[in-house]
Structure 1
Amino acid sequence: MAIKITDECINCGACEPECPNTAIYEGGVEWKIADGTTVKGDFTLMDGSVTTATAPHDPVAVDTYYITPDKCTECQGFHEEPQCAAVCPVDCCIPDEMYRETVEELLGKQAKLHNK
Structure 2
Amino acid sequence: MALIITDDCINCDVCEPECPNVAISQGDEIYVIDSSRCTECVGHYDTPQCVEVCPVDAIIKDENCVESDEQLWAKYEQLTSGT
**Common topology (TM > 0.5):** yes
**Counterpart AA for 2:63:** E
Give the CA RMSD over aligned residues: 1.0
Q: How does 1:1-116 map to 2 (within 5 A)?
A: 1-27=1-27, 62-115=28-81
Q: What is the SS of the residue equivalent to 1:66?
A: strand
When Rg is computed on C-alpha atoms for both structures, the one with the higher figure is: 1
Could you tell me how far apart the structure 1 residues matched to 2:52 and 2:36 are?
21
Name segments (4+ residues, structure 1) moved above 6 Å.
none
Q: Where does structure 1 lack aligned partners over 5 or more consecutive residues? A: 28-61
Could you tell me how far apart the structure 2 residues matched to 1:94 and 1:84 are?
10
What number of residue pairs does the alignment pair up?
82
**Counterpart AA for 1:73:** T
Q: Where does structure 2 lack aligned partners over 5 or more consecutive residues? A: none
Greater helix share, structure number: 2
> Identity over the aligned pairs, expressed in percent?
51
Q: What is the SS of the residue equivalent to 1:13?
A: coil
Report the TM-score, using the length of structure 1 for normalisation. 0.69
Could you tell me how far apart the structure 2 residues matched to 1:77 and 1:103 are?
10
**Counterpart AA for 1:12:** C
**Counterpart AA for 1:4:** I
Shift of residue 81, structure 1, vs aligned partner: 0.6
Could you tell me how far apart the structure 2 residues matched to 1:74 and 1:88 are?
14
Shift of residue 107, structure 1, vs aligned partner: 0.6
